[in-house]
Amino acid sequence: MSALEWFAHKHLGGGIFWIQERFYESGNRANIWLVRGSQRDVVIDAGLGLRSLPDYLRAAGLLAPADGAEPRPLLAVATHVHFDHSGGLQHFEEVAVHSAEAAALLRGDNYEAVTWLSDREVARPPQPGWRARHFRVPPVRPSRLLQEGDEISLGDRQLTVMHMPGHSRGSICLHDKERKILFSGDVVYDGSMIDWLPYSKISDYVASCQRLLELVDRGLVEKVLPGHFNIFGAERLYRLASNYISQAGICHKVSTCAMKSIASIALRITNPRVTS
């Protein structure tokens, strides 16, 4: 199967494209965002990597400037290193990730990447004989380490890095302040927030949700482009964040601790730790 078959995209206007892996039929299917700038293009998250995303972007004509000149530099930014977001980073020359998860990406740590993929989730195998049990996120050397407050310049637009741990220790959002757009990764999406994976931390998640509430209160976000499911607005963002905070009590912590233990054991069986 070619990259052109594997992916599909929708133009949202304003230089933003919404890309998905057509045959990965799972709630874990991540949204991929291409943001075009006057001097640089940025891909936010990269999917499983079963087919080359850069090949798709070129074949679909999404990287070619209107004047026919050479394509702009392309940077892939991972909102975090979980497998459904980071598997495709291997196909990019320039890769950025938060410093807290850079070592895991570099050593190909599929325990921290929480790699968990089944054959039934892939409606059409990308190649003959492919099996999900062989899938792993390969080691990738980041070319840029991100920190809170860093600016990613695209020329005519700036994306500000917001370190928002909780779902994972290196989770980030990217904020286009001028356009009031938040690329939220898995920090928040219109579904149940997952805080029971290795390196998830409820207290960090609560603090991150409080920051999300502040963004809404200050009128800094009008549209959220999340890591999964559909786009939503400021009102829904406020409700999702406030609901998480209100539910993060002792009962939630106890049940989450039990789930985290089970998930950790299962992941250690399928993805032995890589320590070097």
Cα distance between residue 221 and residue 241, in whole Å: 13
pTM: 0.95
Query: Structurally, how many domains does the chain consist of?
Result: 1
Q: Assess if residue 11 is contained within a domain.
A: yes
The one-digit pLDDT tens for each residue of the chain (276 residues) are 899 999 999 999 999 999 999 999 999 999 999 999 999 999 999 999 999 999 999 999 999 776 667 788 999 999 999 999 999 999 999 999 999 999 999 999 999 999 999 999 999 999 899 999 999 999 999 999 999 999 999 999 999 999 999 999 999 999 999 999 999 999 999 999 999 999 999 999 999 999 999 999 999 999 999 999 999 999 999 999 999 999 998 888 888 998 899 989 999 988 876 654
Q: Which of 207, 169, 174, 173 is nearest to 187 (CA)?
A: 173
Mean pLDDT of the residues in the chain: 95
Per-residue HEC secondary structure of 217-266 comes to HCCCCCEEEECCCCCEEHHHHHHHHHHHHHHCCHHHHHHHHHHHHHHHHH
192 falls within a domain:
yes
Residue 249 lies in domain: 3-270
Say how far apart CA 77 and CA 152 lie, in whole Å.
10
Q: Looking at the domain assignment, is residue 147 inside a domain?
A: yes
Cα–Cα dist 211/207, whole Å: 6
* pLDDT of 149: 98
Question: Is 229 part of a structural domain of the chain?
Answer: yes
pLDDT tens-digit readout, 197-254: 999 999 999 999 999 999 999 999 999 999 999 999 999 999 999 999 999 988 888 8
The three-state secondary structure class of 144 is strand
CATH number for 102: 3.60.15.10
pLDDT for res 80: 98
